[in-house]
Structure 1
Amino acid sequence: MALTSWKAFNFVDVSPVKVPEDSSALFGSDLSSLCTGSSNLFLGTNDGFVHIVTSTFRVIRSFKAHDAGSIQHMKQINGTSLLVTVAEDLSNEPVLKVWALDTELKDGTPRCLSTVLVQNARRQFPISAFAVVEDLSQVAVGFANGSVTIIRGDLIHDRGARQRIVFESEEPITGLETQSGAVTALYISTTSRILTLVIAGRGQGQPARILEDTGCGLGCMTLDGETGDILIAREDAVYTYGPRGRGSSYAFESSKTSINSFRDYVALVCPPRPESGKGEALPKYGVNPGGDILGATTFTLLDTDLKFIAHSEALVSPMKHIFMEWGDLFLLTTDGKIFRYREKSLQQRLEILYERNLYILAINLAQKIGINTLQQNAIYRKYGDFLYQRGDYDTAMQQYLRAIDNTEPSQVIRKYLDTQRIHNLIEYLEELHDHGRATVDHTTLLLNCYAKLKDTSKLDSFIKAPGELKFDLETAIAMCRQGGYYEQAAYLATKHGENDMVVDILIEDSKKYAEAVEYIWRLDPEAAYHNLMKYARVLLAHCPERTTEIFKVYFTGQYRPRTEVAEAEPQEQHTSTVQSLANLLPLRYVTGGGGTQTQPPATETDPINQEAEADAAPQYKVPKPRTAFSAFVDHPKEFIGFLETLTEQPGLKQDAKVDLFTTLFEMYLDTAKTKKDATEKQEWEDKAKKLIEGKDIPISTSNVLLLSDLSNFREGSTLVREQEGLRLDIFRSFTSAKDTQGAIQALRRYGPDEPQLYIDALTYFASSPQILEEAGDELDAVLRRIDQDGLLSPLQVIQALSNNAVVTMGRVKKYLSTSIDREHKEISTNRRLISSYKTETAAKQQELSNLSSQPVVFQSRRCQSCGGTLDLPTVHFLCRHSFHERCLNNVDDDAQCPVCGPQNSTLRAIRQRQVDSADQHDLFKAELSRSRDRFGVVSDFFGRGVMKSQATMDEV
């Protein structure tokens, strides 16, 4: 890969660091080593001093670390106050010291925890590489003669240290790095090889293993803190190594003298090119943004993952040290100047990429950094806008889909509506529904798009998608109905329990009335009743038999949701739709599967099944029958069947019974009235008559009379009046209608029990010559009955017949002669009775007089009580009964004869009652009105002494 394949950007801000004057001398030529840690900068000088510098580049502490030699290497152990320094003088062995910076001696210098003389086979070779394990358990020192020494031991507590040369080669050591984990590995680089050596853990003690037979220069190996891999800089590329060998590589053709890892970047220092005019010039930023300078050192920050140069510049002065601390990268040049390299904010970097339309790189950068989804979506949206402007609508839609979570849908929808890209629009709307961000309008638009394309398969997959509902249910159903997709609308409504809407669709849209009836029959009782009443008239008009059947079952309390599809009526649609919809109903109503089955009905010999059916049957309150009456308007046949079924049910409440029988009676009469054939009419009238026959008829008399009169059903009126004892009304109905023969029949039938009918018949027969002629000899029979029963006196009969000139004296001559003879006989009989009563009265009065004025002789010899012979003392009564005094309970002035006493008490009680009832005129009138012999009543009242006033007589 050539250098020109790397895109270059200015993602880093470079600024010079102003070092205080009292500290600037430390960064000059005397500086021999540098390290960072614990938010401080540690400087080692040639005179053996260590200076600790803060983020403001001020020295806060200095101490003499080594008495001889310069400090060439330092390492601050992160998270601790430990500092490792190595000073060397080619005339002596290098000295390694461990310092505790948090512990001071009396002179103010830190405490030296341990001192170790580093061994080397040949002293005249300097230390070229230095590495420390994080827990300070091991220190690796590499020399220019190709040997590596490992120092092991407790360097913190100075409990002794062991040294061993673990590696020797003919090439100088150019770099050492440690990698901790399950095992601790030491990576060794020479000028010709890359090796790994296990210094702790499994495999320790084995010889170094060669990873590659190509080495690197001094300072060209570093540890990638992000990945834990080893980075090697060579002239052609940057290589990565791990425990298993070489990994990925990144081509970057240039000589390199230093490599460092800073965040996601690899910092490279490249020496001047021998022939710069032949190569391509690097872009220059930061310190010297001018053109190429012959012999200039370049400093470059690479993003090896995304393959771009974040920063590149030509350095005026060569690099002396690079260090990372306080979140930034610093570069120290040989002339003592320090430059700070601070990465620009993400938004600034993204804006740079936007300017160059590098949206894919911007997305990759954002994902690598790990920014939140909302920020990434903003990049996707910008990329989509860019692609849309270029006319790449499909790819632009993919970006809009990625940014769907925080993009205003209307912005995208409006664009694709304008360009008539309906397929892209469908894709976006579907994704909106999948993310739960769709509104009612979005659902409407999506369904409209499906309808416009007539894409039934997509519509089906959309509404039948598994999982939770991703759109507004009511809107989806409404749009399917508007677009004519009734089956899909019914499916949605059924799946989500909108049973009322399913019935609406089947009836109002699909016109599948038979299927609607079957679907209703699968619902629970409450839902079934609601839908049945709502569409009763429509269903009765198209499916009268099945609809009437469900009415009968429901209103008799026997409704059970069906679990099998009944065959539709021949003229109606098939039931495949309702079968498919039924599969979505709750399992307690449908047995499920490809087909449904019903359990065989329990028989009398299977009480277990009967009990199970009773337990499984849904309980519901049976509505009043009258609530269903209005549904059967214009359907008399079905209505009569419904009423007949309900009237046969036992245990009907009284109000329901009255409604059912009254309505059924009316329907029978209405049906009979519409029949032209006499036989059919008589059959329906017989049914009506049967309803009102017998006792305890639930239909009120007034209703029967009214309905019979409206339908001209005279037999009904007659029957009811007869049952109610209204015989007079029956007779008068015939006379009012001038039906003489009917009146005669009623007279013969009811006359013996209702004598008043004869009096009414006499008046009716004498009302006109035509009626008299129709009556014939019946007038004579009426007169005889009146005479026999004494209903009217002859004078009253004459008065009744004399109201008009219809009946002549010749017709009543026989009646009058018979009456006169009978009255003569009664007069003679009454005279004899009077004479007898007078004689008897006189005899009684004489007896009373004798008892009060003459002595009485008692001749009785025996006691009337005990039957023994009378002896003194004896008690005699005027009634001629005698008793022993001892046989009587008491003897005083009021003593009564035990034999005659009860009879006398009865007579006195009768007399007292006569006295008490003397003023009861109402009682007299009542008896007078009820009795046929009114004169006998009067004589009886006089005989009892009740009638005492002349006013009462006058009233009688």
Structure 2
Amino acid sequence: MAVTPWQFKFFDVSQVKLPDDESAFLAEPGNTTSVVSGSGSIFVGSADGVVRILSQAFKVVRAFQAHDAGAITYMKQVEGTALLVTIAEDLSNEPVLKVWALDKLEKKTGIPRCQSTLPIQNGRKQFPISAFAALDDLSQLAVGFANGAVTVVRGDLIHDRGARQRTVFESEEPITGIEFREGNITTLYIATTARIMTLVISGRGQGQPAKSLDEYGCGRDCIAVDKTTRDVVVGRNDAIYYYGQHGRGPPYTYEGEKKMVSTYKDYVVIVAPPKSNAMPRSNPLRAFGVGAADDAFNTSTFTLLNTELRYVAHQEQLTSQVQHIISEWGDLFIFTIEGKIFRYHEKPFAQKLDMLYQRNLYVLAINLAQKAGLDASQQNVILRKFGDYLYSKQDYDTAMQQYLKAIDNTEPSQVIRKFLDTQRIHNLIEYLEELHDHHKATSDHTTLLLNCYAKLKDVDKLEEFIKSPDDLKFDLDTAISMCRQGGYYDQAAFLARKHGEHELVVDVLIEDSKRYAEALAYIWRLEPEVAYFNLMKYATVLLQQIPRDTTQLFIDYYTAVFQPKKDAIVIPTAPSSGGGMGMGLGVASSAVQNLAALLPLPYMNTNALASPPTGEQKSTMSQAQIIEQTSDEPAPEYKVPKPRTAFSAFVDHPQEFIVFLEACINSDNLREDDKVDLYTTLFEMYLHSASSKKDGERQAWENKARKLVEKKDIPIDTSNVLLLSHLSDFRDGAILVREQQGLHFDIFRSYTATNDTQGAIRALRKYGPEEPALYPAALAYFTSSPEILAEAGDELDSVLKKIDEDGLMAPLQVIQTLSTNGVATMGMVKSYLSATIERERVEIATNRRTIETFRADTESKKTELQNLNTKPVVFQAARCKVCNKALELPVVHFLCKHSFHQSCLSTDEDVRDAEVECPICSGQNATVKAIRRAQIESAERHDLFADALRRSRDGFAVISEWFGRGVMGVEGKD
């Protein structure tokens, strides 16, 4: 994978100005032999064995003599600790390794404490160290020598508890680099001038010989570790190679000799001499570093390379050779052999983006932003700029792809305006669809998208849009409205059903599609409350189009037996032949079939009633039909509305209205407070139907009305019956009401008012025994005109006979009534008059005899009273009326001729003799006294006299009675 020719100046370079103190030694060439960084400091080892610690200002904060002999050629600072490892070499002796605790100072000398000292063995061979690596816990260290040997040191060097050394690798080529790769196993990567080897030194596979990873080696200092991925980076003249856990990865072509390779953040740091001075790659001495002295007089190339994104972040020519590369405080530092230090500070990300924008490198900018971990909103800014750039180049499709990626942080109107042209409508549709997928669409966006579909007549796209199985991603009302406006009624209904907008479903089916049967079938499958709302809203049109089924739905709902219908999919298991399966599926109505094809029904049971199709049965899937399932479940509970609420729906449908009313009345769930409305309205509808019919049909409806009123305990207000009967000219209704109320006289009068003589005769015969006053009225009616008299016939004699027998009228009153109109003749009443006169004569004679008898009795009583007051009375009784014994003195005699022993009377001693009464006659005397007392009291009650006189038809008899009570008697006289 070749690195692109993109080169940028992403780093600001500045030379570090050293302070005028001990740091000045850095400026002297040859003083610095090793440099490392870590824990916020820079550590510099010198040829005289001194370690100097520099601060961020490059001031020496501490210096100590680490080794007495030899130059410090290698160091390692353990990040996050105060531990420092130093190695000093003296060719006359073995290299010495020391571990220092920088935070622990010796009291006598004030220098850091040396935790351990260890001479590094190389089989007693005096060869310089060419590579060094150590684990962060210092449990293992590896030292490579120029003779091709690698020594591994194991032990607790931090606490000086001893260490073991072993030569783990030997080769004929010198060691050019060593790196550890930690993981489940710890692997030591060994680089020579000719090959790359791996050696497991900890974990599974430990103890096995080194394995060859690559047959090509690398130069000294051309191997490093990527701290992010822990992969080993190797720089060769042809490319940059990465070695991971599974071997070598893809190379990144970057040709040119490489003197030093290091890593910094996401970059590979490469130092290369000029190509003109480069030696052939096959020269092992050059690879090992021989010839570096010649390079001191030549320039070198310093490059920061991003291998992942394949661009050069910085490149420059240095007049002096690079000796050390370190990174600390977020910056990269290089030390030259001339003692100069250069700082490389990465520019802010915004500046880097500006540089990329200037060169229209938007793809790289996007990749760079993703690598840097910018949030989505910042990345989308780049994508928008990229889209604008592509749009300006008329690459509309690719531009749209960028806008789609940045859709979450882009103002949609900015993009939509660009693609409103008809030629770019497909791009616009793509953007609008993505807006809906991201739930960022407004009602205007939905409208625009649906308009685009309509403009292209792309029904498939429209179907896909509205039938998306995901959550609602657009404005529902807008989508439905646009579908209806565009004539896509099926889609509008489906959309409304999918999202539970039942009212809209019914509205579309009725108002737009004119599918009345399907609408009713849908309503019948809704929950009771929802079904009621839609039924009442569209009752008029449904009754107009499908009266029978709509009426049945009304009946079910208002009689509390409504139950949402449920359906099932039936898949025939074999092709129907003749009538077998066809007969079974015929129960599904065409409306339900059409509705199921249009949209998913509520309460749809997707489990087939038949076995699922397999094999050759798959072809029958298209024959699947929908049938209504019968259910034994009880009807759901819901509040049944008052029947009156449905009356207005049946205004123009009287026959259906009657069916509805009759069903409600016959329902077991009818409430008492609804009966009045139902019976009254049904009575009215019967009369209404009768008024529009003739002859037999009219009579049939009137009979229904009559039977309804004749029922016992019907809750119809009589005034309503009378009013309705009058308005409909239904006389029987008024008659029935008056009959139920006992208004027999009114019934008779209604017949006479219309000169219905036969009706009057029937009423007289039916009600006369209970209402005697009808006979005098009948007498007056029958003699009111010659026609009526002729029509009445012999009924007049019957009336006169009844009046005479029951004494309903005085003879004089009868004569006066008959003579009023001069219609009746003497011949008609001769027999009546003769009988009446004879009866009166007999009665007069009888009364005279009675008077004479009463007069004689009165005179006799007066004489007796006179004798008692003026003549003596002889008592002849011999026995006591109480004890029936012979009378013996003392004896008490009463004027009533009753005698008693005084002892038998049981009277108190203090009772006067005048107050003693005969025990036998005392009861009769008390009655007479009470009657007399009542007469005296009533004689003073003039109001009672007037009331009796007012209520009586025979006033003379009343006056005579009150005279008999003594009303005219003298006050105070018995």
TM-score by structure 2 length? 0.87
Specify which of 729, 734, 737 is matched with residue 717 of structure 1: 734
CA drift of 1:873 comes to 5.1
Distance in 2 between residues matched to 1:750 and 1:184, nearest whole Å: 125
8 Å Cα contact 1:122/1:145 also seen in 2: no
Q: Which letter maps to 1:690? A: K
Q: Deviations over 1:717-748 (max 9, x none)?
A: 22332332222222322332233444344444
Distance in 2 between residues matched to 1:430 and 1:540, nearest whole Å: 42
What is the aligned partner in structure 1 of residue 442 from structure 2? Answer: 439
Secondary structure of 2:420 counterpart: helix
Secondary structure of 1:692 counterpart: helix
What is the aligned partner in structure 1 of residue 228 from structure 2? Answer: 226
Change (3 A) 1:709 1:242: closer
Q: Deviations over 1:434-491 (max 9, x none)?
A: 2222222222222222233333322222222223222222222222222222222222
What is the aligned partner in structure 2 of residue 285 from structure 1? Answer: none
Q: Which letter maps to 1:181? A: G
Instruction: Report how many aligned residue pairs link the two structures.
Output: 919
Q: Which runs of 5+ in 1 are unaligned?
A: 277-292, 603-612, 951-956
Q: Which moved more, 1:746-755 or 1:707-716?
A: 746-755
Distance in 1 between residues matched to 2:731 and 2:397, nearest whole Å: 88
What is the aligned partner in structure 2 of residue 360 from structure 1? Answer: 363
Distance in 1 between residues matched to 2:590 and 2:336, nearest whole Å: 94
1:10 aligns with 2:9: yes
1:705 aligns with 2:722: yes
Change (3 A) 1:267 1:826: same
CA drift of 1:107 comes to 2.3
| Structure 2 counterparts to residues 458-607 of structure 1, below 5 A | 458-564=461-567, 574-579=591-596, 583-586=600-603
Distance in 2 between residues matched to 1:565 and 1:117, nearest whole Å: 90
| Structure 2 counterparts to residues 802-951 of structure 1, below 5 A | 819-871=836-888, 874-885=891-902, 887-891=904-908, 892-893=911-912, 894-920=915-941, 923-924=944-945, 933-945=954-966
Distance in 1 between residues matched to 2:684 and 2:77, nearest whole Å: 112
8 Å Cα contact 2:6/2:311 also seen in 1: yes
What is the aligned partner in structure 1 of residue 287 from structure 2? Answer: none
Change (3 A) 1:700 1:206: closer
CA drift of 1:426 comes to 2.1
Distance in 2 between residues matched to 1:843 and 1:851, nearest whole Å: 13
Distance in 1 between residues matched to 2:56 and 2:803, nearest whole Å: 145
8 Å Cα contact 2:179/2:224 also seen in 1: yes
Change (3 A) 1:947 1:409: farther
Distance in 1 between residues matched to 2:608 and 2:917, nearest whole Å: 98
What is the aligned partner in structure 1 of residue 621 from structure 2? Answer: none
Change (3 A) 1:660 1:873: farther
Q: Which moved more, 1:368-377 or 1:117-126?
A: 117-126
Specify which of 317, 321, 331 is matched with residue 318 of structure 1: 321
CA drift of 1:301 comes to 0.8
Distance in 2 between residues matched to 1:716 and 1:131, nearest whole Å: 120
What is the aligned partner in structure 1 of residue 92 from structure 2? Answer: 91
Distance in 1 between residues matched to 2:14 and 2:500, nearest whole Å: 69
8 Å Cα contact 2:331/2:343 also seen in 1: yes
Specify which of 110, 116, 122 is matched with residue 114 of structure 1: 116
Q: Which letter maps to 1:497? A: G
What is the aligned partner in structure 2 of residue 158 from structure 1? Answer: 160
| Structure 2 counterparts to residues 697-776 of structure 1, below 5 A | 697-765=714-782, 767-768=784-785, 770-772=787-789, 774-775=791-792
1:242 aligns with 2:241: no
Distance in 1 between residues matched to 2:631 and 2:272, nearest whole Å: 96
Q: Percent identity at matched positions?
A: 60
What is the aligned partner in structure 1 of residue 701 from structure 2? Answer: 684
Distance in 2 between residues matched to 1:720 and 1:121, nearest whole Å: 138
Distance in 1 between residues matched to 2:43 and 2:814, nearest whole Å: 155
Change (3 A) 1:583 1:421: same
CA drift of 1:494 comes to 2.4
CA drift of 1:712 comes to 1.6
Q: Which moved more, 1:304-313 or 1:477-486?
A: 477-486
Q: Deviations over 1:70-125 (max 9, x none)?
A: 21211111121111111222222222211111011122111112222222346543
Q: Which moved more, 1:849-858 or 1:809-818?
A: 809-818
8 Å Cα contact 2:7/2:313 also seen in 1: yes
What is the aligned partner in structure 2 of residue 282 from structure 1? Answer: none
Specify which of 142, 167, 170 is matched with residue 169 of structure 2: 167
Q: Which letter maps to 1:62? A: A
Secondary structure of 1:622 counterpart: coil
Distance in 1 between residues matched to 2:466 and 2:688, nearest whole Å: 52
CA drift of 1:823 comes to 4.0
8 Å Cα contact 2:442/2:475 also seen in 1: yes
Q: Which letter maps to 2:487? A: G
CA drift of 1:890 comes to 3.9
Distance in 2 between residues matched to 1:344 and 1:43, nearest whole Å: 27
Q: Which letter maps to 2:148? A: G
Distance in 2 between residues matched to 1:554 and 1:922, nearest whole Å: 65
8 Å Cα contact 1:762/1:782 also seen in 2: yes
CA drift of 1:199 comes to 2.6
What is the aligned partner in structure 2 of residue 280 from structure 1? Answer: none
Q: Which letter maps to 2:104? A: T
What is the aligned partner in structure 2 of residue 67 from structure 1? Answer: 68
What is the aligned partner in structure 2 of residue 673 from structure 1? Answer: 691
Q: Which moved more, 1:368-377 or 1:882-891?
A: 882-891
8 Å Cα contact 1:24/1:336 also seen in 2: no
Distance in 2 between residues matched to 1:426 and 1:543, nearest whole Å: 42
Q: Which letter maps to 1:621? A: K
| Structure 2 counterparts to residues 125-204 of structure 1, below 5 A | 125-204=127-206
8 Å Cα contact 1:583/1:590 also seen in 2: no
Q: Which moved more, 1:482-491 or 1:247-256?
A: 482-491
Distance in 2 between residues matched to 1:403 and 1:217, nearest whole Å: 46
Change (3 A) 1:623 1:883: farther
Q: Which letter maps to 2:80? A: G
Q: Deviations over 1:36-93 (max 9, x none)?
A: 1111001111222111101111111111112222212111111211111112222222
CA drift of 1:308 comes to 0.9
Specify which of 634, 645, 649 is matched with residue 631 of structure 1: 649
Q: Which letter maps to 2:547? A: P
Q: Deviations over 1:908-942 (max 9, x none)?
A: 33333334434555655665566565544443343
Change (3 A) 1:569 1:722: farther
Q: Which letter maps to 1:187? A: Y
8 Å Cα contact 2:757/2:791 also seen in 1: yes
Change (3 A) 1:935 1:527: farther
Change (3 A) 1:183 1:787: closer
8 Å Cα contact 2:139/2:157 also seen in 1: yes
8 Å Cα contact 2:297/2:320 also seen in 1: no
What is the aligned partner in structure 2 of residue 606 from structure 1? Answer: none
Secondary structure of 1:248 counterpart: coil
Q: Which moved more, 1:786-795 or 1:178-187?
A: 786-795
Change (3 A) 1:919 1:487: farther
Aligned CA-pair RMSD: 3.3
What is the aligned partner in structure 2 of residue 26 from structure 1? Answer: 26
Specify which of 633, 647, 660 is matched with residue 665 of structure 2: 647
| Structure 2 counterparts to residues 441-456 of structure 1, below 5 A | 441-456=444-459
TM-score by structure 1 length? 0.89
Distance in 1 between residues matched to 2:606 and 2:214, nearest whole Å: 75
Distance in 2 between residues matched to 1:235 and 1:506, nearest whole Å: 78
Q: Deviations over 1:199-232 (max 9, x none)?
A: 3333333332222222222211111212212222
What is the aligned partner in structure 1 of residue 581 from structure 2? Answer: none
Secondary structure of 2:275 counterpart: coil
Q: Which runs of 5+ in 2 are unaligned?
A: 279-295, 570-583, 611-623
8 Å Cα contact 2:585/2:627 also seen in 1: no
Q: Which moved more, 1:940-949 or 1:255-264?
A: 940-949
Q: Which moved more, 1:214-223 or 1:776-785?
A: 776-785
CA drift of 1:325 comes to 0.8
What is the aligned partner in structure 1 of residue 574 from structure 2? Answer: none
